[in-house]
């Protein structure tokens, strides 16, 4: 679920980076993404709370809150994560009397945390403007 919200949030910001400021309404964004405007408004609210976009009610639409070159995918990732929960949760140990049951969750948490750190490091190296430029070259 986080991955889907993340992809749609990037799409929203990419559209805002390519169209004139304030022109992108939830209807226009929803059309581009291929979803319902309600979904866009919910995600846009999260992006606004994270300081990535500004929203004007009514015909005003949305715009980036700072230059596209200053918004990294890691910023968007953090905005889409709810309650800061890990992307890869670990199950509770079902049997504390069993050696594997006792040790597996901690081992998995260590590996999963390292994977999430690697993901966030990679995302921090890519900006919305990087993607906008790549999109312009591809079209």
Query: What one-character-per-residue DSSP string does 51-115 give?
Result: TSEEEETGGGEEEESS-GGG-BHHHHHHHHSSTT--SS--PPPS-TTSHHHHHHHHHHHHHHHHH
Tokens 């004007």 appear where? 56
pLDDT for the residue numbered 87 = 76
pTM of the predicted structure, to 2 decimals: 0.85
CATH of 2-138, one of 1.20.1440.230, 3.40.50.10140, 1.10.10.10, 1.10.357.10: 1.10.10.10
**Rounded to the nearest 5°, which phi and psi values hold at 24?**
-90, 100
| Tokens linked to 77 | 């990732």
What does the pLDDT profile of the chain (139 residues) look like in tens digits? 577 899 999 999 999 999 877 678 899 999 999 999 999 999 999 999 999 999 987 676 899 999 999 999 999 999 998 766 777 788 876 777 888 888 888 899 999 999 999 999 999 999 999 999 999 999 7
> Domain locations in the chain?
2-138
Residue 86: per-residue pLDDT: 75
């Amino acid at each position: 679920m986080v991955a889907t919200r993340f992809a749609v949030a990037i799409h929203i910001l990419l559209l805002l980076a390519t169209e004139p400021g304030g022109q992108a309404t939830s209807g226009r964004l929803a059309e581009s993404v291929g979803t319902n405007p309600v979904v866009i408004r919910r995600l846009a609210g999260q992006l606004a709370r994270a300081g990535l976009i500004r929203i004007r009610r009514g015909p005003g639409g949305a715009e980036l809150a700072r230059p596209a070159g200053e918004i990294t995918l890691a910023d968007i990732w953090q905005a889409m994560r709810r309650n800061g929960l890990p992307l890869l949760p670990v199950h509770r140990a079902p049997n504390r009397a069993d050696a594997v049951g006792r040790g597996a969750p901690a081992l998995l948490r260590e590996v999963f945390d390292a994977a999430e750190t690697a993901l966030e490091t990679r995302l921090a190296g890519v900006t919305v403007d990087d993607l906008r430029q790549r999109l312009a070259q591809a079209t």
